[in-house]
């Protein structure tokens, strides 16, 4: 099966077996490709577009690795955009589910991934996925804030300097505009 075919079929399985209540209308899709803003990331979960992006770099992943990875990305929409406790709990539940179904290697792969993300904690390099999601949510939640205030606030949250955030994540302005536009549509 092609990489794209594997990704699609694992995505269907992940959705129906591991997250049966998450996307009942089947609005979410999976795309093999990189979202420009998150270049270099292996995966990106975009709640706004309802798309999970899997980079073509992931072609070499084993079936189990790919399954665990799709579950990881979906957990970002179900639980939290960050590798925080809430996200970890959802990953643990998925691992328990896999174990209950006799999928022991998938269960341990999910656990290994989850714990390595959490252990890395704040030393984990900032991921575009987390930064853009956070900035977009800030813009959505605070329609009266200026771009500058949103960026400053986000830089403080991530513990980096404003200039470094702006340099490393060139799509901030676009993400803020999208967050605002989404708010106007509400
Ligand atoms: Zn993640």
Q: What is the CATH number of the domain that holds 59?
A: 3.30.2010.10
Domain count, the chain: 2
State which of 123, 139, 159 marks the end of a domain.
123
Residue 121: its pLDDT value, please?
56
Both 90 and 25 in a single domain?
A: yes
| Centroid of ligand 1 to alpha carbon of 39 (angstroms) | 14
| Centroid of ligand 1 to alpha carbon of 149 (angstroms) | 26
**Predicted TM-score (pTM) of this structure:** 0.67
State which of 81, 107, 123 marks the end of a domain.
123
| Centroid of ligand 1 to alpha carbon of 110 (angstroms) | 12
Residue 123: its pLDDT value, please?
39
Residue 157: its pLDDT value, please?
77
Both 90 and 104 in a single domain?
A: yes
| Centroid of ligand 1 to alpha carbon of 130 (angstroms) | 8
Residue 36: its pLDDT value, please?
67
The segments of the chain whose pLDDT lies below 50 read: 122-124
- Would you state the structure tokens that stand for residue 12, as one six-digit string? 């269907």
**Residue 186, in any domain of the structure:** no
Angstrom distance (rounded) from CA 105 to CA 88: 18
User: Are 107 and 48 in contact, with CB atoms under 8 Å apart?
Assistant: no
| Centroid of ligand 1 to alpha carbon of 184 (angstroms) | 28
| Centroid of ligand 1 to alpha carbon of 72 (angstroms) | 6
By residue range, what is the domain housing residue 153? 128-179
**Residue 185, in any domain of the structure:** no
| Centroid of ligand 1 to alpha carbon of 148 (angstroms) | 27
State which of 87, 104, 123 marks the end of a domain.
123
- Would you state the structure tokens that stand for residue 8, as one six-digit string? 């699609």
Residue 160: its pLDDT value, please?
75
Residue 91: its pLDDT value, please?
93
User: Are 32 and 3 in contact, with CB atoms under 8 Å apart?
Assistant: yes
| Centroid of ligand 1 to alpha carbon of 23 (angstroms) | 19
**Residue 98, in any domain of the structure:** yes
Residue 102: its pLDDT value, please?
98
| Centroid of ligand 1 to alpha carbon of 119 (angstroms) | 13
User: Are 131 and 150 in contact, with CB atoms under 8 Å apart?
Assistant: no
Residue 43: its pLDDT value, please?
87
């Amino acid at each position: 099966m092609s990489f794209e075919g594997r990704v699609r079929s694992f995505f269907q399985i992940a959705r129906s077996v591991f997250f049966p209540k998450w996307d009942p209308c089947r609005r979410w899709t999976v795309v093999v490709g990189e979202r420009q803003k998150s270049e270099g990331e292996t995966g990106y979960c975009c709640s706004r577009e309802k798309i999970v992006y899997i980079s073509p770099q992931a072609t070499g992943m084993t079936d189990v690795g790919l399954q665990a990875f799709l579950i990881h990305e979906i957990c970002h929409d179900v639980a939290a955009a960050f590798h925080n406790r809430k996200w970890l709990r959802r990953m643990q539940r998925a691992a328990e589910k896999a174990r209950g179904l006799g999928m022991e290697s998938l269960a341990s792969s999910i656990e290994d991934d989850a714990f390595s993300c959490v252990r890395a904690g704040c030393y984990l390099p900032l991921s575009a996925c987390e930064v853009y999601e956070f900035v977009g949510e800030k813009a959505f939640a605070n329609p009266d804030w200026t771009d500058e205030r949103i960026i400053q606030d986000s830089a403080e949250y991530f513990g980096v300097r404003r200039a470094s955030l702006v340099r490393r994540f060139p799509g901030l302005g676009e993400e803020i505009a999208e967050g605002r536009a989404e708010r106007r549509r509400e």
